[in-house]
Amino acid sequence: DPRSPTAEAYRHLRASLLYTPTGQAPQTILVTSGGPFEGKTTTAINIAFTLAQGGAEVLIIDCDLRRPQIHHHFDISGADGLTGYLSGHQDIASLVRTSEELPNLKIITAGPPAANPAAVLGSVEMQDLLEVVKRHFTYIIIDSPPASSFADASLLSTLADGVVIVVHSKRSSHRVVRRVKERLENLGASIYGVVLNHVDLRSDEYYAEYYKSYE
């Protein structure tokens, strides 16, 4: 629902990502989290939707080769996808799928399971793919596995303009999120910020913590 508080929150997030102090909007945005089940895939999809609703040509790539979910959200087959292309079994024309809701939103699913996801994502072929799609899309959203568990997000962060870290307000560990941030920054990644997920804005406890942070 475009009139919902959630939709408005994502419009604010879009503005935060695009209107940077440098005036240079990022083209490739990596979305990750500290741990599993924090909502990073839903966040990545909603960022892509919000950007596409603004009229831009947007591509979302499922690089979570360990637990791919994007094909489920779009109700499309995950039999073909990124790993098929990177292994030379699929051409780029058949790789990109179109969203039924927004024709200017395109999707690349994860594809068949890979024996070594980190090697696949860190390959020259992956770098070449990103260079190709950057010539055709205004924005590219990359969904990766949790950054604290696997090296995949670290490898992908070196290929993206910047990183968004999704944090579950009731589940995430401050220590884990801080460690993820430091690890990615040590690789040269630009951390655009944190999306705090699963927050009840009507909660008295939330407002108590909000005001306490400014005392």
Inter-axis angle of helices 5-18 and 40-53, nearest 10: 80
Q: For residue 83, which of 60, 62, 105, 59 has the smallest C-alpha distance?
A: 62
Give the per-residue pLDDT at 205.
54
pTM exceeding 0.85 = yes
Q: What whole-number distance in Å separates Cα of residue 88 and Cα of residue 78?
A: 17
Q: What whole-number distance in Å separates Cα of residue 162 and Cα of residue 189?
A: 6
Burial class (CB in 10 A: 0-12, 13-18, 19+), 181: middle
Structure tokens at 66: 């360990």
Give the per-residue pLDDT at 202.
63
C-alpha triplet 212, 213, 215: angle, nearest 5°: 65
pLDDT along the chain (215 residues), means of 10: 83 86 83 92 95 95 96 92 89 89 96 93 95 96 92 95 91 86 94 86 52 39
Q: What whole-number distance in Å separates Cα of residue 211 and Cα of residue 195?
A: 19
Q: For residue 114, which of 148, 147, 150, 139 has the smallest C-alpha distance?
A: 150
Give the per-residue pLDDT at 212.
42
Helix (H) or strand (E) segment spanning residue 85: helix 82-86
